[in-house]
Homo-oligomer: A and B are copies of this chain.
Amino acid sequence: MALFDFLRVKKNTASIAKERLRIIVAQERSTRGGPDYLPELQRELLALIKKYVHVDADAVKVDLVKDGEHDVLDISVSLPEREG
């Protein structure tokens, strides 16, 4: 399934915001163990995004999911509509 189909699927379940920014960080590991840096990376990612777009705290949804060999950080930001 193409990347865009995947992005569109989630859209129907979430509120239909005009503008949205979605960041997915997927760490694929061959062996368990090793540093789990996703929680810290999450904090720095949000700080980085705020340099580019205005982000309301309540407009950010963060999922941190572990599934077998994948650890996935899924950040979804509903952006305020641009004027004009």
Given A22-B25, A48-B48, does the pair A5, B1 have CB atoms closer than 8 Å?
A: yes
Assembly stoichiometry (copies): 2
Shortest CB-to-CB span from A83 to chain B, Å, is: 11
Q: Inside 8 A of A49's CB, which chain B residues have their CB?
A: 41
Where chain A touches its partner, the secondary structure class is mixed
> Is the Cβ of A72 less than 8 Å from the Cβ of B7?
yes
> Is the Cβ of A30 less than 8 Å from the Cβ of B81?
yes
Complexed CA–CA distance, A23 and B72 (Å):
10
> Is the Cβ of A25 less than 8 Å from the Cβ of B26?
no
> Is the Cβ of B18 less than 8 Å from the Cβ of A30?
yes
Q: Is the C-beta of A3 less than 8 angstroms from some C-beta in chain B?
A: yes
Which residue of B is nearest A28, CB measured? B20
